[in-house]
Structure 1
Amino acid sequence: MLISLTHSSNMLTGKHTIFRQRKTLYLLCFLIFFSIANSTEIEILLKFKSSIQNSSTTVFDTWRDDSAACNFSGIACDPQGLVKEISIPQQDLEGEIPFDAICELKSLQKIDLGGNSIGGNIGEGIRNCTKLQYLDLGYNSLNGKVPDLSSLTEMKFLNLNASGISGPFPWKSLENLTPLEFLSLGDNPFEKNPFPLEVLNLKSLYWLYLTNSSIEGKIPEGIGNLTNLQNLELSDNLLSGEIPASITKLTKLWQLELYNNSFTGKIPAGFGNLTGLINFDASTNFLLGDLSELKSLTRIVSLQLFENQLAGPIPEEFGEFKFLEELSLYTNKLTGTLPQALGSWSDFNYIDVAENSLTGAIPPNMCNKGKMSDLLLLQNHFTGSIPESYANCSSLVRFRVNNNSLSGIVPAGIWNLPNLEILDFRSNQFQGPISTSIGNSKSLAQLFLSNNQFSGELPESISQATSLVSIYLSSNQIEGKIPDGIGNLKMLNALYLDSNMLSAEIPTSLSQCESLNDINLSNNYLTGEIPDSLGSLSSLNSLNLSENKLSGEIPVSLSSPRLSLLDLSNNRLVGPVPFSLSLEAYNESFVGNPGLCSQAHRISYLRPCGSDSGEHSGEFSGRFMTIVVCLVVGTVVSLGSFVCFIYIKMRRNDHDHWIKGPSESWEMRPYHVISFSEEDIIKSIKRENLIGQGGSGDVYKVVVNGMNLAVKHVWRSDLGERQRWQSTAAMLGKKAVHSPEYEAEVATLSSLRHVNVVKLYCSISGEGSHLLVYEYLVNGSLWDRMHTCQKTEMDWNIRYEIAVGAARGLEYLHHGCNRPVIHRDVKSRNILLDEDLKPRIADFGLAKIMHVRADGRDSTRVVAGTHGYIAPEYAYTYKVNEKSDVYSFGVVLMELVTGKRPLEPELGEDKDLVQWVNGKLRSNADMIDLVDSGISDTMKEDAVKVLRIALHCTVRVPALRPSMRMVVQMLEEAEPGKLTKGHH
């Protein structure tokens, strides 16, 4: 027995020993395997790091070959120590993703690289990531097509939104991705495709984002089977037909976005079942019927149904919605009154019910919580007065109630609301004075009060509202004088005081409003002479002083601004009409002034100067002017002779003095190697060399040593016309004066180095002005070559190369500089062409060097740009960023494709090119029919690809526009014939 037990014990001991040995062996094998695997994974990750070579991020500081992969920043491992996640979103990563390598990480389940600037193709290698459950490449700068994804059968989260991918999407591969819960593919320039039926089989989806994905046709009824959906976004596509009734089965929806399509019919019956709906946007469609189906949406926060054909009343239940913050119903056919309780319960942000047929009073409590920014009730039939409660709504930015039947006195506090930018009360029956407190309205930019019964004087304090850009006070009962301090309004662009009872003289300080473009003071009782200084307003385009009691002679200086409209009729003006104003364009500008005469019989209805002996004053004035002119000419000749004498003497005494003289009086800063001196440039600034004019200066063509140059003469804004036009001799001895703005701008522009940005050779600065010396482009502007008598036949290949080159120039400005340079006036006139029609981005007169704030926006509030190219956000704000340039460039692309100007009569009333193109597409026009007939039929499909890109650039919401970097990549993918070769 003892022997047996001993034997058994020995056997157990032996087995334990063998077990321990085997365990040790297994552990050793595992460690060896893990070490090899970890070493391999480190190599893969370091290869990934090397592919993201342009990054300045510190996230890769921990990625070293002497560290474990699981310790790398952004890396997570599974319990076995194998890489499970690569998560590096929003780190400004660049370069390309080596999917062939990283898909060798056999346990990889998650890749999150969203919100970077990664380029390149996704590549076929991604098909080997068979364990992948989460892929986020959204908001990057990828290009090319998406490969077949059928092998990613465990995928639950797929986000490729705004990633830059293009071409046909592999919808068929979604059939294998049945676990998908989150699918976001929007904001990519895919090829047109019907609604992908494969999506209807993804029963686990709770998030579906296909906005701006070139989807056309109808939404199938099968959409109602996706009962887990919480978010459904199909906006900005080419969808049509009725909203399917089955959508009412999606009772878990909290967000439904269908805007900017071509949906028709009524809001489906049973829509009120979607009681969890928080955000609903079906704006810019063709929806009919009333709003009764929405009255049970008690949790709604944002309701956007503008630009449809909805009719009937707004349900009273809307006034009881406890969470409603945003309501936009403008441009419909709604009638009845606004619920008087509207906005009483929630933090109401804005209401826009403009362009309907609403009646009754304005609800008093929409700013009850003090957060409302926009109150937009324009173009309805509202009556009564403005409730006193809005005088305390300090958050208001836009207050627009124009074109109604409102009356009474405006509550005093409204005139000085601290954040108000637009106050629009036009075409009502308001009475009473404009409060003196308006001077405290430091944010007020646009003041529209025309066609009312405002009375009293225009308060002097209005001159303290220094942000004012537009003043429209036409057709009221304003009396007294125009405030003397009006010259303080340096940003003022338009001044309309016509059809009032103003008297006294036109203040000379008006000439200090250096941004003035339009002045209309007609139909008043103004007296005195026309200020000569008005001619110094270089931006002035329209001047109407008709129907007053103005006297004296017409200033010759009014010819300087080259006005498109000049009306001085029906005054008491005398003397000769200046020869430079005796033009056909101003033919009716001088009627009703018996004391005027015409020189050289140029104006038929005026008597010739000196012909009527009875007009002694006019004759005497003419003779007096002749004597003065002779004296002035004699004096100039004498001074000129004296200057020449001094010059010759100085040259004889000191041969080098002419070179030294300008260098002491002018400051020249070269930015490239140059072969000319400041003397060569200065002596060429002559009227005969003038080739262009703009608001900030004149442009001259200068030829030096066989080199063609363009010289921009940028004058100081505080100088008058006489001071601006000085001879070279008169400017000698003056010390250069620089403004901080000029210094900052030129410092940046001089550092720009790009083949598609016009080259700045040097700057030359004097006391009164600056000369910027650029390269000269012989073929003028793209506008010249497309729309003027210099029009050149350009096939699509040439237009495409111009588009790509200009895009690369803008991409460089936005992304290639230390700080983004925002052009702010991108248009075909500012795209210059060299002898080979290669483009250069030019004219930075409106450029703004961005100082990015904490919120990422620029605080500039100056109206800039050119109508037809200006982004829609300019209508209500002056805050700009790179996306404003992207919109303008999108308009240029449309010009290249359609051959049309941004604004022209054939586009229809109040339409620009963007609206025209979108309207045609909404009417189911074929995109190919919009292509310029001058483009050959074989190239029109290629042009359509660029038109699609233009549509992406000009979407209404700035955040949805691509970056210029992405635009360049999309254009490169649209190279003529490139995609076609792949299909055939």
Structure 2
Amino acid sequence: MSRCLCCVFLLLVPFAVCLNQEGRYLQRVKLGFDDPDGFFSDWDVAANNDSPCQWTGVTCSESGNGFVIAVDLSNANVAGPFPSVLCRLTGLKFISLYNNSINGTLSGDISACRSLAHLNLAQNLLTGTIPHSLSELPELKFLDLTGNNFSGNIPASFGLFPKLEELSLVDNLIDGKIPAELGNISTLKQLNLSYNPFSPGQIPPEIGNLTNLEVLWLTGCNLIGPIPDSLGRLSKLVDLDLAINQLTGRVPSSLTGLSNVVQIELYNNSLTGELPAVGWSKMTSLRLLDISMNLFTGSVPDELCSLQLESLHLYENEFGGKFPEIISNSSNLNDLKLFGNRFSGSLPKDLGKNSPLTWVDVSNNLFSGEIPATLCENGVLEELLMIHNSFSGEIPASFGKCRSLKRVRLGFNKISGDVPAGFWALPEVSLLELAENSFTGVIGKTIAGAGNLSTLNIANNKFSGELPDEIGFLDNLIEFSGSNNRFSGSLPATIVNLEQLTKLDLHNNGFSGGLPAGIDSLKKLNELNLATNQFSGDIPDKIGQLSVLNYLDLSGNRFSGKIPVGLQNLRLNQLNLSSNSLSGDIPPVYAKKIYINSFLGNPGLCGDIEGLCDGKNVTRNMGYIWLLRSIFVLAGVVFIFGVGWFYFRYKNFENSKQTIDKSKWTLMSFHKLSFSEYEILGALDEDNVIGSGSSGKVYKVVLSNGDAVAVKKLWGGSKKGEDGDLENGSVSVSVRDNGFEAEVETLGKIRHKNIVRLWCCCSTKICKLLVYEYMPNGSLGDLLHSSKSGLLDWPTRYKITVDAAEGLAYLHHDCVPAIVHRDVKSNNILLDGDFGARVADFGLAKVVDGNDKGGKSMSVIAGSCGYIAPEYAYTLRVNEKSDIYSFGVVILELVTGKLPVDPEFGEKDLVKWVCTTLDQKGLDVVLDPKLDSCFKEEICKVLNVGLLCTSPLPINRPSMRRVVKMLQEIGSVNPMKFGSKDGKLTPYYYDDASDHGSVA
């Protein structure tokens, strides 16, 4: 060993001798870093050259002395502590270590870099407090510490910077309050402190002293109180972003004096009152204004709408009155979102005539009158959302030529007349919703041209005639809702070609004839509702081969023959075959009293369900009358004996854990319930068990109204972490002797579309019941790793990924205090009938105190093998980063189709297998072969997000808020495929009636 070291030393000696002093300092920089990509490969001595000026990332002055003036190691993938030796380069003016793995703390010695003008340490792993000595750098103009883990306060000494022009501290862990001393940096042009967990505090009025300021970004800084009038003094301000805070009060009129401002973002606050009535005309540079998700009232000023705006977001406020006509004169307007207000009257009649309108959303208002025919005048309109208003008249004929349209929602209005033929054929439209209007006429054969159509909802209108054969040419159609119309004739035979179809709802029409042959081709069909038509013939036995079907309603038709035995193969949440002409026996699985309403009104149908048989079956029953008479007396005796026995058993019920005394149960509900605890308790029999774990069982309970719920029965002996995986929509929550009530209270407050809903809990001393919404498609893990994984194509997997990410982002960022799930895995992501995802099983969840930055320390490891973050295993400290790692594993499961741990990996888990295989064999070996290669680019991008989430270093993992944003940006590349939502860095949830997000 000593001989080897000697050789190395001898090899280095000539370099040290040849290099000048600055080169030797840079050699020390190189030796202090881990350099896996060989960035420093040319940091060596070339023949007859004693200067480092030709090295990668090194720049020297042009003067004869050749001093090093810049060191740029951006994106070099190097790791190690900040090299303080750089400050010995006396002429050094520029340092950039952007996007590396610089770790440890930033020493106060950096103040020795006396010539430094530019310091960029963004996107690294630095921790600790920000050195107050940075302000001692006399020449510093640019300081960017974005994307690290700096904590503590912003030093008050920062107010002493003599020349600083740009300061960015975005996305760190800085707490305390924004110091007023920042208002003393008179040279400052850009100030960006966004996304830090500051203590609640107001915007310092002293910020108004920064008269050279051009950019002020204080997004997500926990700001409270009013916007200070002093900001109106920032005469050079170009960009103002105060979004995602808790600001209150009115918008100060002084802001209308910002004549140079181009963009103002005030969305997601609690601002109130009316907008300033005058003064807007001075804001001649304003192009983008977003004041959505506040509490503004009154009308929108004409002066504001007279500006040459490009984007105007006023949604989710309480604005009212008529929207200004003058907006039509804007030649730049491309994005107008007014949804969720109280606007009334007509839309400006020339809206879109003079501007490149691309996105229009005026939903959920009180608008009336006709739809302006000019909205697509410039041929770039992509989204037209107008649901829940009182628009009338017809769809303008010009819309039939608007080939740029991708999403159209005109539902819940008073629009009438025939739909223009060209409107059915728009080639880019993925969503077409015309529901709840008064449309007439037929579906045009031109619909064959709508090749990207995935959702067609024309329910509750007056459409008539037959469905055209061309409906079967829509290869991408996923949902077709045409109920409550006047359609007639047979279903077109081509409808069985819709292999992507998950929902077909045509109830309450005048369809006739039999169901088309080949209906078993609709392998993804989840809901089939053909009720109240005139269909006849047999119910095809092949319906039983639709493996994911969970809603089947054929009631109110003229079906005859026997009920197909194949229906027993289905896991139906809803079954209704009533009011037909069916005969024969009911399949044994459905021959239960809870299904009696599913079969009423079929004169020839009979089974073992009490009350189903009627007088028309007397002939069949006469053979049994002698038996009934002979046992009548005996039955009375048995009844009396049974009553006595039941009373004895009921009285002693609480002595047995397996028995339910309804009188001793306490109900705690978290939503308005349509059922009582007695209905739940009466259905907990073994026939309804759909899953089990060591802490109890899960039941599917079909309520009297036809809805289903999942009920988890837990016994008091269960301990946290003991629950096994449950199937088919089950949810596992642990019972804790002292913490159960507190946990349930927390879960009961959660309101998010991507968190499974807890309806209520029922409890006694020895048993607790948790009643959840039922998830008919079970867990993601069960479906993904089964023979049915083919149902999960890439758009569906992408949708599940975004849904689950939004659910976790809600827990981490919008719950106060934050909640860490601690057991994120594919089996705890449940799927509804439309493959929407819900995060479930909060048995290991923990509330995280905002004051505990390091996370809570656990006494034991909890979680599931393959999903546990590496640092959790040895620190036993839990925070949001643990969930993010687990979610990254779920992403890798969705991309690869493989289990998190598998014998084929050897001693590796899925994360290590993916990383190794990517390096050695390439991307194609990693991707699930079941996925269509046409999505390869998008899949690769999502895979990268998964790898980022599973970074070994917690501080290198993005927040869930950032994960949601990255996933949404991937989907926005091709929204027709992915159906992504438009949103900012805030998680949104969406209800069934609207596209619009509300901050949870």
TM-score bucket (shorter structure): 0.5 to 0.7
The one-letter amino acid paired with 1:64 is: D
1:14 corresponds in structure 2 to none
Cα distance in 1, alignment partners of residues 980 and 341 from structure 2: 33
Q: 1:390 to 1:585 in 2, by over 3 A?
A: same
Cα distance in 1, alignment partners of residues 592 and 839 from structure 2: 25
1:807 aligns with 2:884: yes
Superposition pairs for residues 211-250 of structure 1, below 5 Å? 211-250=219-258
Superposition pairs for residues 521-600 of structure 1, below 5 Å? 521-583=530-592, 585-599=594-608
Cα distance in 1, alignment partners of residues 285 and 514 from structure 2: 64
Superposition pairs for residues 235-634 of structure 1, below 5 Å? 235-268=243-276, 269-292=278-301, 294-295=303-304, 297-583=306-592, 585-599=594-608, 603-607=609-613, 612-614=618-620
CA-CA distance at 1:195 after TM superposition: 2.4
Cα distance in 2, alignment partners of residues 327 and 225 from structure 1: 29
2:807 corresponds in structure 1 to none
The one-letter amino acid paired with 2:349 is: Q
Of the structure 1 ranges 574-583 and 105-114, higher mean CA displacement relative to structure 2 is found in 105-114
The one-letter amino acid paired with 1:251 is: S
Cα distance in 2, alignment partners of residues 245 and 887 from structure 1: 28
How big is each residue's C-alpha offset from its partner over 1:427-465, in whole Å with a ceiling of 9 and x where there is no partner? 111111111121221111111111111111111111111
CA-CA distance at 1:47 after TM superposition: 4.5
Counterpart contact for 2:211–2:233, Cα < 8 Å = yes
How big is each residue's C-alpha offset from its partner over 1:274-305, in whole Å with a ceiling of 9 and x where there is no partner? 11101111111111121115446532111111
Counterpart contact for 2:385–2:408, Cα < 8 Å = yes
Q: 1:63 to 1:36 in 2, by over 3 A?
A: closer
Superposition pairs for residues 645-724 of structure 1, below 5 Å? 692=727, 713-714=786-787
1:85 corresponds in structure 2 to 70
CA-CA distance at 1:421 after TM superposition: 0.6
1:150 aligns with 2:150: no
Counterpart contact for 1:552–1:573, Cα < 8 Å = yes
The SS at the match of 1:471 is strand
The one-letter amino acid paired with 1:577 is: I
The SS at the match of 1:303 is strand
Q: 1:457 to 1:809 in 2, by over 3 A?
A: same
CA-CA distance at 1:398 after TM superposition: 0.7
Counterpart contact for 2:514–2:536, Cα < 8 Å = yes
CA-CA distance at 1:548 after TM superposition: 0.9
Q: 1:398 to 1:151 in 2, by over 3 A?
A: same
The SS at the match of 1:383 is strand
Cα distance in 2, alignment partners of residues 449 and 710 from structure 1: 31
The one-letter amino acid paired with 1:853 is: E
How big is each residue's C-alpha offset from its partner over 1:218-254, in whole Å with a ceiling of 9 and x where there is no partner? 3222212222211111212222222222222321101
Cα distance in 1, alignment partners of residues 520 and 514 from structure 2: 14
Q: 1:783 to 1:422 in 2, by over 3 A?
A: closer
Q: 1:554 to 1:366 in 2, by over 3 A?
A: same
The SS at the match of 1:714 is coil
Consecutive unaligned residues in structure 2, runs of 5 or more: 1-15, 162-184, 626-723, 730-774, 799-822, 832-837, 848-855, 863-876, 903-908, 914-926, 944-962
How big is each residue's C-alpha offset from its partner over 1:169-201, in whole Å with a ceiling of 9 and x where there is no partner? 406343123232222232345554432456444
Cα distance in 2, alignment partners of residues 538 and 349 from structure 1: 41
How big is each residue's C-alpha offset from its partner over 1:746-766, in whole Å with a ceiling of 9 and x where there is no partner? xxxxxxxxxxxxxxxxxxxxx
- Rg larger for: 1
Cα distance in 2, alignment partners of residues 132 and 386 from structure 1: 64
The SS at the match of 1:150 is helix
1:72 corresponds in structure 2 to 55
The one-letter amino acid paired with 1:323 is: N
Q: 1:60 to 1:209 in 2, by over 3 A?
A: farther
The SS at the match of 1:358 is strand
1:38 aligns with 2:22: yes
Cα distance in 2, alignment partners of residues 124 and 700 from structure 1: 50
Superposition pairs for residues 147-226 of structure 1, below 5 Å? 147-148=131-132, 149-161=134-146, 163-165=147-149, 167-170=151-154, 172-177=156-161, 178=185, 179-190=187-198, 192-197=200-205, 199-226=207-234
Q: TM-score, normalised by structure 2?
A: 0.62
Q: 1:788 to 1:587 in 2, by over 3 A?
A: farther
Q: 1:244 to 1:441 in 2, by over 3 A?
A: same
CA-CA distance at 1:330 after TM superposition: 1.0
Q: Please, which of 80, 86, 91 is the counterpart of residue 102 of structure 1?
A: 86
CA-CA distance at 1:503 after TM superposition: 0.8
Cα distance in 2, alignment partners of residues 224 and 33 from structure 1: 61
Superposition pairs for residues 579-978 of structure 1, below 5 Å? 579-583=588-592, 585-599=594-608, 603-607=609-613, 612-614=618-620, 692=727, 713-714=786-787, 797-798=857-858, 801=878, 804-811=881-888, 853=937, 877=975, 918=999
CA-CA distance at 1:123 after TM superposition: 5.2
The one-letter amino acid paired with 2:428 is: N
Cα distance in 2, alignment partners of residues 455 and 366 from structure 1: 28
1:643 corresponds in structure 2 to none
Cα distance in 2, alignment partners of residues 787 and 60 from structure 1: 46
CA-CA distance at 1:511 after TM superposition: 2.2
Cα distance in 1, alignment partners of residues 390 and 309 from structure 2: 27
CA-CA distance at 1:414 after TM superposition: 1.4
The one-letter amino acid paired with 1:229 is: L
The one-letter amino acid paired with 1:807 is: I
Q: 1:468 to 1:185 in 2, by over 3 A?
A: same
Q: 1:198 to 1:451 in 2, by over 3 A?
A: same
The one-letter amino acid paired with 1:208 is: L
The SS at the match of 1:586 is helix
Number of residue pairs the alignment of both structures matches: 709
CA-CA distance at 1:334 after TM superposition: 0.9
Counterpart contact for 1:514–1:717, Cα < 8 Å = no
Q: Which fold has the larger relative contact order, with Cα–Cα distance below 8 Å and residues 6 or more apart in sequence?
A: 1
CA-CA distance at 1:580 after TM superposition: 0.6
The one-letter amino acid paired with 2:135 is: S
CA-CA distance at 1:881 after TM superposition: 12
Counterpart contact for 1:556–1:580, Cα < 8 Å = no
Q: 1:198 to 1:33 in 2, by over 3 A?
A: farther
Q: 1:117 to 1:45 in 2, by over 3 A?
A: closer
Cα distance in 2, alignment partners of residues 812 and 406 from structure 1: 48
The one-letter amino acid paired with 2:61 is: D
The one-letter amino acid paired with 1:182 is: Q
Cα distance in 2, alignment partners of residues 779 and 318 from structure 1: 49
CA-CA distance at 1:320 after TM superposition: 0.5
How big is each residue's C-alpha offset from its partner over 1:78-124, in whole Å with a ceiling of 9 and x where there is no partner? 345333334455x4735345152334443333344546676665554
Counterpart contact for 1:565–1:586, Cα < 8 Å = no
Cα distance in 2, alignment partners of residues 97 and 911 from structure 1: 50
